[in-house]
C-alpha cells in the first residue's frame, strides 16, 4: 500500500508552489487516478500518461517560462476526462481543465493551450479520417488565430502529448509541416497540406 503522501501528490514530483497546490487538489488527485486503456492511451491511468508527457516537456530546450507553462499543461490537460465522461462528453476535458486552472493563474496562453490541446489532432482526424477538409481548415485557422506568434508553444505541447502511448505519428508530422509552410502573419495555404 502506498503512503497517503504518495497518493496525495499522485506520484508526480511538484517543482513549484503552484504545481504542489494543483497536485494536492482533490479533482486532480481523482483525475490522475482515473483511466482505462484505450487507443492512443494504453496507460491504465491518466497519471501514467501525464508522467510520459512531463518527460517529453522536460526534454525540450525552451525558455523557463514556457517550460513552466507546459509542465502545468501536462499535469492538467487530461485530468478532467473523468468528468467529461460523467457529463456524456457535453464538456470537453480541455475546457474543464481550463476552468479548473483559472483559479490558479490568469496566464491566457496557458489557459488557451489547455482548452484547445486536442484541436490539431481533431483537425487531422477530420481531414484524413472523415474527408472533411473544410472543417479541418477552419480548426487549424482557429488555432492560428488563438495562438498567433505563440503557435510554436502549442506545437511543442502537441508533440509532447502525442509522443506517448501508441498514438499515431502522422498528425504530428502533418501539423509540423503546416507550421513550416505557413508563418504567422501570412495567409495559410488553401489546402493546408492535404
Domain end: 69, 93, 115, which one?
115
pLDDT at 5: 36
> Which residue matches cell numbers 479520417?
129
Residues 11 and 74 in one domain: yes
Together in a domain, 65 and 131: no
Rounded Cα gap, residues 105 and 151, in angstroms: 20
pTM, to two decimals:
0.86
**pLDDT given at position 108:** 98
149 and 184 part of one domain: yes
- 177 and 147, same domain (yes or no): yes
**pLDDT interval class at 165 (50, 70, 90):** confident
Residue with cell 492511451: 41
- Banded model confidence at residue 183, pLDDT cuts 50, 70, 90: low
Looking at the chain, list the stretches that DSSP marks H as alpha helix, in order from N- to C-terminal side: 4-9, 17-23, 26-33, 46-59, 64-76, 81-86, 93-101, 108-116, 119-128, 133-147, 151-162, 170-181
- pLDDT for 84: 75
Using pLDDT thresholds of 50, 70 and 90, give the confidence band for residue 9.
very low
CA atoms within 13 A on the CB side of 48: 11
Q: How confident is the model at residue 85 (pLDDT cuts 50, 70, 90)?
A: low
Query: In this structure, is the dihedral angle defined by the CA atoms of residues 93, 21, 19 and 51, taken in order, positive or negative?
Result: negative
Amino acid at each position: 500500500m502506498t503512503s497517503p503522501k504518495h497518493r496525495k501528490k499522485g506520484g508526480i514530483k511538484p517543482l513549484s508552489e503552484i504545481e504542489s497546490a494543483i497536485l494536492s487538489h482533490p479533482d486532480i488527485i481523482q483525475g490522475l487516478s482515473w483511466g482505462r486503456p484505450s487507443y492512443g492511451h494504453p496507460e491504465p491511468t491518466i497519471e501514467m500518461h501525464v508522467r510520459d508527457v512531463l518527460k517529453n516537456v522536460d526534454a525540450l530546450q525552451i525558455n523557463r517560462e514556457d517550460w513552466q507553462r507546459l509542465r502545468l499543461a501536462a499535469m492538467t490537460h487530461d485530468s478532467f476526462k473523468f468528468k467529461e465522461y460523467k457529463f456524456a462528453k457535453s464538456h470537453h476535458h480541455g475546457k474543464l481543465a481550463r476552468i479548473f486552472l483559472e483559479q490558479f493563474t490568469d496566464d491566457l496562453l496557458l489557459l488557451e493551450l489547455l482548452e484547445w490541446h486536442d484541436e490539431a489532432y481533431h483537425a487531422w482526424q477530420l481531414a484524413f479520417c472523415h474527408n472533411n477538409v473544410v472543417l479541418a481548415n477552419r480548426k487549424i485557422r482557429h488555432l492560428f488565430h488563438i495562438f498567433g506568434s505563440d503557435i510554436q508553444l502549442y506545437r511543442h505541447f502537441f508533440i509532447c502529448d502525442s509522443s506517448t502511448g501508441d498514438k499515431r505519428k502522422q498528425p504530428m508530422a502533418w501539423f509540423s509541416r503546416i507550421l513550416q509552410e505557413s508563418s504567422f502573419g501570412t495567409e495559410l495555404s488553401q489546402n493546408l497540406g492535404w
